[in-house]
Amino acid sequence: MHSKNRQLLIPALAAALVLSGCGGGGAQPPQQGAPPVTVSAPLVRDVVDWDEFVGRFEAIQSVDVRPRASGYLQGVWFKDGQYVQKGQLLFTVDARPAQAAVAQAVAQVAQAQATLANAKTEYARSEALVAQRAASQEELEQRRAAMRSASAQVAAAEANLRAQRLGLGFTRVVAPLSGRISERKVDVGNSVTADQTVLTTIVSVDPVHFVFQGSEALLLKYQRDGSGTRDGTPIKVKLSDETDYTHNGTIDFVDNALDAGAGTIRARAVISNPGGFLKAGMFGSARLEASKPYPAMLVPDTAIMADAARQIVFVVDKTNTVTARPVQTGPLQGNLRVIRSGLNKDDRVVIDGAQRARPGVKVTPQPGQIKEAAPAGGTSDAPDYTAKPAGNR
């Protein structure tokens, strides 16, 4: 009886164990894989540090055009805003009074010349009579004085004629320099006053000045380096809507004293402007070379994060575990940031997928590459980067 019961119990226990094993295996969830991230060693290349300034463009020459003759404005011979050449006719003032004055001066010259001719004749006659003892020496001296007076009157009349002709020329107002002209400020028919009425303004176009303010600390740094006050120091400028410093020039002036209130010093650069695109009054950003080229490590600026009061990058170690590495950063070079300290040249820095990485978490590193690339629209001395996954290391 007991033997029969054992024979029935053994198959039942075996079946129960099989069912129990199957149920336990289905209750365990599958283990998730380590998230993929793109890593690369820091890019090492020579860089130059720059000091940046904000400034404004100014015309090298700016002239208020005023008439040098009074009268009624008779003509305007330019279009508002056009480019004019030096000596080009801009305005005409009623010339009739000046023409009449010239005609009168011509007549006065003729009258003075006639008087001089008569005085010379009288002197010659007196000289002959004195030789014949028919006239006194006193009379001869009187004739000589009259001749000299008539000669002086001719010189005065001729000088007056030149002055009147000059006044006639002043009725034609011409451009004192080549440049861009503004709108006319006086219309035809209005009366203008010599040397007072402003008719328009002209500014020179090429080259232009870029004026900016530098701090006392920067001035001291440049002076100690021996490069802060020398003319000819290169400078690069960009406009507010530009990504690259495309306008090149040189420093041509540094003021002789600092502004006591602001603690800054005024500096000026000459910028080439052949197309006339740069206008007086425009704002721009300039940069000056602040160091000689030196080797530096660079990583994408997007790979740098803030952790409390420090900056960090994620680094993947030999066990593929993420660690947060504090770094000291330098200036931005294009889309890359200079790393002063905190990284080694062989470190694997997370350059893409940092949102999937956390300190202490294992990841699947995929090799990428930090490359230099010029921004769209022009070349640059600042690098860009491109990450290229290339399988597991």
Distance in angstroms (rounded) separating the CA atoms of residues 370 and 383: 9
* DSSP bridge pairs for 84: 179
With 0-12 / 13-18 / 19 or more C-beta atoms within 10 angstroms meaning exposed / middle / buried, residue 362 is middle
Q: How far apart are CA 70 and CA 186, in angstroms?
A: 13
Domain 36-47+294-367 is in which class?
A: mainly beta
Q: Give me the mean pLDDT over the 57-65 stretch.
A: 95
How far apart, in whole angstroms, are the C-alpha atoms of residue 344 and residue 162? Answer: 84
Give the pLDDT confidence of 91-136 residue by residue, as tens digits: 999 999 999 999 999 999 999 999 999 888 887 877 777 677 776 7
Distance CA 244, CA 376 (A): 9
Q: What Cα–Cα distance (Å) separates residue 20 from each residue in 10, 12, 13?
A: 15, 12, 10
- Report how far apart the first and last C-alpha atoms of the chain are (Å, whole number): 68
**pTM score over 0.75:** no
d(CA 195, CA 174) in angstroms, rounded, equals 14
Amino acid 370: pLDDT: 86
Q: How many CB atoms lie within 10 A of CB 141?
A: 13
Residue 207 DSSP label: S
Give the span between the Cα atoms of 33 and 183, in whole angstroms: 72
CB atoms within 10 A of CB 368: 24
Q: Does domain 51-60+204-289 have CATH number 3.40.50.460?
A: no
Task: Give the E-state strand segments of 216-309 in sequence order.
Answer: 234-239, 247-254, 264-271, 283-289, 294-300, 305-307
Q: What is the pLDDT of residues 267-326, one digit of tens each?
A: 899 999 988 899 999 999 998 887 788 899 999 988 898 877 889 999 999 999 999 999
Q: Indicate the helix (H) or strand (E) that contains 270.
A: strand 264-271
Per-residue pLDDT tens for 327-340?
A: 999 888 878 889 99
Residue range 95-169 in CATH 1.10.287? yes
Return the half-sphere exposure (C-beta side, CA atoms, 13 A cut-off) of residue 228. 17
Domain ranges in the chain are 36-47+294-367, 51-60+204-289, 95-169
